[in-house]
Amino acid sequence: MLPEDKKLMIYEQLKVVFGFEAFRPNQEPIIDRILSRQDVFAVMPTGGGKSLCYQLPAKMMSGTTVVISPLISLMKDQVDAACANGIVATFMNSTLTAREMSDAHQKLRLNEIELLYIAPERFVMPSFLETLKNIDISFFAIDEAHCISEWGHDFRSDYLRLSLIPEEFPDVAVAAFTATATLKVQEDIIRKIGLRSPHVTRASFNRPNLFYRVERKDNANLQILRFLKERPNDAGIIYRTTRKSVTETADFLVSNGISARPYHAGLPPEERSANQEAFNHDDTRVMVATIAFGMGIDKSNVRFVIHADLPKNIEGYYQETGRAGRDGVSADCLLLFSNADIPRLRYFINQIPSDKERAVAMGNLRQMVNFASHNSCRRKQLLKFFDEEYPADNCSTCDICTDTTEDVDITLDAQILMSAIYRTGQTFWVRHIVDIVTGANTKRIRSFRHNKVKTYGAGKSKKKEYWVAIADELLAHNIIEQSDDKFPVIKLTHEGSDLLFGKKRLTISRKESAKVSARSDDLKHYDNLLFERLRAVRKEFAEEQHVPPFVIFSDKTLHDMCRYYPAEESDMRKISGVGEVKIQRYAAAFIDEIKGYLDENPDAGENGAQFADVDYEIKPRQKKKIGDSVEVTYALFKEGLSVEIIAGRRSLTTSTIAGHLELLIQDGRDIDIDRLIDPAKRAEIEKLFITFKKWNLKPIIEHSNGTISYDEARIARAFLRDQLNFL
């Protein structure tokens, strides 16, 4: 265990770097062990804060923390988020140019990188392995560690080579993280990596902010549209099984005025990338995708996940729903279920050549069907899969626990349906049986003379959808069963025979939706009008810096601003998720927007929440607060180099260098502003800021019709504020 003075340093870094007053459950002991250079294995659900568990030690320890992750598409977002908090981070993968890769290698050899993200394939390259052996490594972090286990749902053979880490780096600690692993998979991961007496954390798999609902699938696209219309501003993911259904659903939503884009492996790589980028940057609010989409998503403000088709297994379903509500804010998870989905999944399972793998896949499917069809608490079922018991009788955040139910005796209707199954030789599928019961006049019914069956037309007073629902109930209660053939037929079970011949009755619990969702109370707890204005400010910063909006601030942080109305920098520091680097970069603009809103709505602030007292005192920042990278830019600028030359020499964008110069002006450094902006143009920009009475950049850019760039406007703004002593 770490001494008390070291623990105080941890809390100081937690606040100064990340802007948090306290740790989430399990984070502190994990960080404690990593700083003590002990191996760690941690199972933490998505949204549980596992990235902080290796980012905070990376900031505190000497050397480079190497994070191994399979998610190349996610690395840039992770690096952007780390850099936004003042961590010197970069990544190495196939998306970099030769020059960018060379620059990253040089910084690595010079020990200038605190946090390095790489893919497992790069780690095992002999040349790269030699590079790592010649630098100071603080520890290794293995993300998505379940990929090393053949018992996991996303096994990747490249991960098996990670067992080299303890062999090649015996004195370096290894921390392995995953969001999903059964106990069997957990043991397999620890053994295959070769973790040495690791500290094991198995966090609860319970995601209390997620609301789980299962609805009977009737017309998936219309059901999805109704769901989205009730949430006009929410971003979310819709999963479909096939590429065709992805395209059809996306086209249907767009034709009905919903901002949606498709994502599947059949699209050109550049289109997939553009669609994912649009979703991450809040330029489209709905992504319709196959399960190929999601692992590369770090978007924290996904407010819903819809499964419009039955997932293959509970583990995959849990991970996919876990992409909602990563910021801890409430989110909805909707599964549309029909037994008609089962034959398609069984067909694909039957194509698996290995008897063992096929049996495992079939067992996984049965578990998924039970989850969707049984009227027992969804949360209890999910947690039980991961060997965890939910202690309460009612979770209050799933349809089973919140919807009203009534007991209905369906014995007579069940017998009508089963009689049709029995009298046709138990050799037909559900839809044909329903056609018989409802008296349909189809060619197939006539050819088999099923219009002569005693129960033909016995249920014609009720819709076909009703009888399909009865069949689903019988399947769920094991009264009838469906064969595993490509064209599955319906047969009676032993229990079914007893019901058919009157030896037992069948009563089911029928739900009546209470229309409860995860978001029922959220909007009552923050100022939604101010939230939309702050989102616009956040979006502007994100566009300037070419990063997703959640890298600037999460929705949760904006919600807190809309509860507490921080109109001073000292109050902004009390908002969760606002560290010192973000105070320097963004606080002034958000404070100005909040002040403007309060001026227009003087009663709003009176209803704001009050800040709680903090248990410990944060030490003032040292002079080095703006970071080494900014200091390098300052030195080059003092040598007389232009922004373009500095950017080229450092392999950075001109926007990044302009951001450095903005920080330097705010810090009171000697910056010759006339070298950056023509005095006449600067005067024009300053006049616009004064005229608009706002510090937002977008109105300035739009008013100038593009003659003023973002970089010019932000530097002029910093200089004007410095002159007016606003900082």
Asked if 4-202 and 210-403 have one fold, the answer is yes
Note whether 424 and 450 are within 8 A (CB): yes
Q: Output the pLDDT for position 623.
A: 38
Cβ-count burial of 289 within 10 angstroms (0-12 exposed, 13-18 middle, 19+ buried)? Answer: buried
CATH number, domain 210-403, options 3.40.50.10190, 3.40.50.150, 3.40.50.620, 3.40.50.300: 3.40.50.300
Mean pLDDT of 122-134: 90
Confidence check: pLDDT of 379 > 90: yes
Which pair of tokens denotes residue 261?
A: 């884009």
Q: Output the pLDDT for position 610.
A: 60
Q: Output the pLDDT for position 651.
A: 75
Handedness of CA 74, 75, 79, 82 (dihedral sign): positive
Confidence check: pLDDT of 523 > 50: no
Residues facing residue 90 across a β-bridge: 116
- Tens of pLDDT, residues 281-334: 999 999 999 986 655 567 888 999 999 999 999 988 998 998 999 888 899 999
Domain ranges of the chain: 4-202, 210-403, 406-512, 522-724
CB atoms within 10 A of CB 264: 21
- Between 623 and 477, the more confident residue is 477
Mean pLDDT of 121-128: 88
- Tens of pLDDT, residues 613-663: 433 333 333 333 566 778 888 889 888 888 888 888 887 778 778 888 888
Query: How far is CA 174 from its chain centroid?
Result: 25
Which pair of tokens denotes residue 725?
A: 């002593």
| 3-state class percentages of the chain: helix first, strand second, coil last, to nearest 5 | 50, 10, 35
Helix (H) or strand (E) run with residue 356 in it: helix 355-373
Lowest mean pLDDT among 55-64, 75-84, 212-221: 75-84
Q: Output the pLDDT for position 486.
A: 59
Q: Output the pLDDT for position 613.
A: 43
Q: Output the pLDDT for position 303.
A: 94
Q: Output the pLDDT for position 617.
A: 36
Q: Output the pLDDT for position 611.
A: 57
- The CATH architecture one would assign to domain 4-202 is 3-Layer(aba) Sandwich (3.40)
Mean of the per-residue pLDDT values of the chain: 86
- Between 68 and 689, the more confident residue is 68
Mean pLDDT of 400-405: 81
How far, in Å, are 228, 316, 523 from residue 231 at the CA level? 5, 25, 12
Confidence check: pLDDT of 76 > 60: yes
- The CATH architecture one would assign to domain 406-512 is Orthogonal Bundle (1.10)
Mean pLDDT of 173-179: 93
Closest CA to 429 of 373, 486, 487: 487
